Chain A
């Protein structure tokens, strides 16, 4: 097993947060993992990205040139990932904010209205968790249970926020299972 995941979006969309969730989950599942954020003078609204490499073997490069899984939370990220995503890879696009589609036959795509689905569970800001649910529905790089457990551990006392996040994650997972079966 070796997956190279790149997630991009606006600062404030929780791109780094879901990257960290994946990293922590992979760690708990005792896999090799590297998390590499874009860093520096990002501000809310600028495009940020992070890389998560999960593997059963010693991991080389910190950077991912051609992701096996790419998540585009905004148009700028899609512009990049539509070219870089590896053949046979998966590209997930947040349809709520990205009107464009990709015409590549050698990759799988998921167009998910993440912010709209997040609004349905009560908070339009947590489209990131909806997207994470979608990712796990198509490529179970870590188990959904691991993610739930980490959120429980880190948000323990903030019950309302925890429940909202869990709902968003499940929403994205189930929506994708339904819309993209097979």
Chain B
């Protein structure tokens, strides 16, 4: 993208974050991932950590997350991103590894890895995108799929007798003493997006201040696999996901609360 010089443009209202590549997202129309990636990019810019950030990608729709950032990155096996990030941080305390994981990756196959990264209080950051469905494999039940919700592997709706109950990740992980900051946000409205960015920024700042494990769960729409139109998906999220997954901060240790009060945490 050609840069406008100052004469041509007096005010730039919107541009791609500097830490992001000039490449289109591969996501379906109306998907929330693009918004979340952008928020992470903005935060990396604002905290000036592109040269230290390591994008630890997972498996699912976020499989090639590292393609979108101008920082180093790697692909981890399904669910193992927190273990990979743990090692990177332990070996290089100056780096800023973050995992970007979906619900199948984090809350099903990678449950042990995220729980133990939290239990150890690893000084890493996890962005957890919960869209209540397996996107990449074509819409099967996720660990966070709602009761009675349709998926290609619960065509009559998820029934607890057969398929158990959706997992509330923030609630579960916030009981672990190694976690410093845990919040659930969403991206289904401009206001919600602004709050999501604040949470993501605070999560990274938690890591930069060496305060322990930080995780932000982002409730995100998947119109394709929910089989609703993109705009309606935003409403569907509010109507169905929010009651099951209430927004808010689930863990803010004192030191993080102090960070939050510091000037400049927009």
Asked if A and B touch directly (CB within 8 angstroms), the answer is no
